[in-house]
Amino acid sequence: MKNFAQLLNHLYFSYQHKAKLNLLLDFFKNTSDPERGYALAIMADTLDFPTFKRQLIRELIDQRIDPFLFELSFDYVGDLAETIALLWPNKMSKSESKLPHLSKVIHDLRNIPQAQTANHLAELLDKGNTIERWALLKIGTGSLRIGVSARFIKKALALYGQVNIQDIEHLWHSQKPPYIELFAWLDGKKPIPSIAEDNFFHPVMLSHPLKDKDLSSINPDNFFAEYKYDGIRVQLVCTAKEKALYSRTGDNISRSFPDALQTVNNPVVLDGELMVAGKHCIGSFNDLQKRLNRKNPDKKILEEQPAVIILYDLLEDEKRDLRHLPLSERRKKLENWFARHHPSNMVLSELLFFNSSEDLLELKKDTLSKQHIAIEGLMLKRKDSPYIAGRPFGYWFKWKRNPRLIDAVLMYAQRGHGKRSSYYSDYTFGLWLGEELVPIGKAYFGFTDEELYQLDKWIRYHTQNHFGPVREVEKALVFEIAFDAVNYSSRHKSGVALRFPRINRVRWDKPASEADKLENLIALINPTEQR
């Protein structure tokens, strides 16, 4: 546990990618199995601890530290795990302080009865030093914030084993912690692991935004276009043993959408966009959100908002891997598969053709100007493109509808987390409803570091009230807020909810009285959207 805690600490305080890469390579080289495999699993977030949650951690510290003192400390530090690690009473001397191996810690936390978890966790925290306690708590909170993404970790593994990162991507979801076979292959001790006929996810192929300078490279003979639907990217995997629906990140969402799997029974891997059906057409993302994260949807919602998959691609058919084939061939095979099986809850994505750059620009203009609730843009795909995991350049491009903009007033601010824990970087903003400001959402990115320093200073000088860690500020600063869509929402006081709000710019020059009214925002809601 000590070595893993030190690794996390060094990664947290390293800002250069090369330095982080060297830390990971050194750890993989000098750490034995299964410790390095479990460390990999925690950093890649492939382990779950059902009884080790944030609420339990809060209850433990409240039993040992005055809650008011904790709130003051948490407000200053900004990170739950770090705050508790610093405040936790030291009961043992340095000679007595010793946590077990990481593998032992993980085994116990994953298998201990829920009733015993609190006492066991407290004993572990008593045995560790500050850094070890911090690392231990990070395991439970699930938010490492060490500047290492899953893709970055796979890059480190590829460098460590001197293998192609595409091979890592291909294997990733078929391997399980503590990744013994994976490391044996990377160490050159065993051949590449075989992939059994189980449900596993193929990492998805992604696109690049199409810039004006790239437009000249789009030859109409080599590309076709598709609508970019506004749902969630999914992969449907059906094998002889079972079938599952995965999100673009490899999360199994089958329980939330059992109806999406009902019409597929033969071995196949399909790539598409998950939507829900409305009364007369495909529903919006807002409709889909009503079903997301529902582990056990009831009969009513399954009937009123059934799942629909817009099919983009065919990756496997009858156990044959098709990803190496050009997209034009995969598309023909997808059309043949669809004609053979006639799945009632699936729709083939429409192909759109163009003869010139002028035609393409007109197609773009027509698509992006439409207010279709299920379409958010346009995709361009090379007909000869193989299906490559990640975001390879030159194959697939996208045009998304420009974000909506509205001027809103800063109402409240709160400290950020991780490296932003010393700054007020989480903002609540509102619009005018008569003489009153009504909060419509929150944003915490979209500004530079220099702007953050200026905003933090402004907030401190213009604070009017405190509500725990939240500061109410003078209603005088205007933000231009960008967002993808706005919908009706019964859960918000304003009656609306923004999708993906972010700060487009700070309007230091604009009086708060000239910010937008709530009615201006409501007018942007698609008229086909249901209340």
Active site residue 228: yes
| Type of residue at 205 | M
Helix (H) or strand (E) holding 270: strand 268-276
Phi-psi region of 122 (alpha: psi -120 to 50; beta: other; left: phi over 0): alpha
Q: Beta strands 496-499 and 485-488: pairing type?
A: antiparallel
**Catalytic one among 20, 138, 228, 243?**
228
**Distance (Å, whole) CA 171 – CA 187:** 16
Question: Please, are residues 185 and 192 in contact by the beta-carbon 8 Å criterion?
Answer: yes
Q: What is the 3-state secondary structure (H, E, C) of 384-449?
A: CCCCCCECCCCCEEEEECCCEEEEEEEEEEEECCHHHCCCEEEEEEEEEECCEEEEEEEECCCCCH
List CB contacts of 282: < 8 A, sequence separation 6 or more. Answer: 229, 275, 276, 308, 310, 347, 374
**Secondary structure (H, E, C), 221-258:** CCEEEEEEECCEEEEEEECCCCEEEEECCCCECCCCCH
Give strand pairing partners of 209. 398
Tokens of 311: 């099919």
Task: Give the catalytic positions in this structure.
Answer: 228
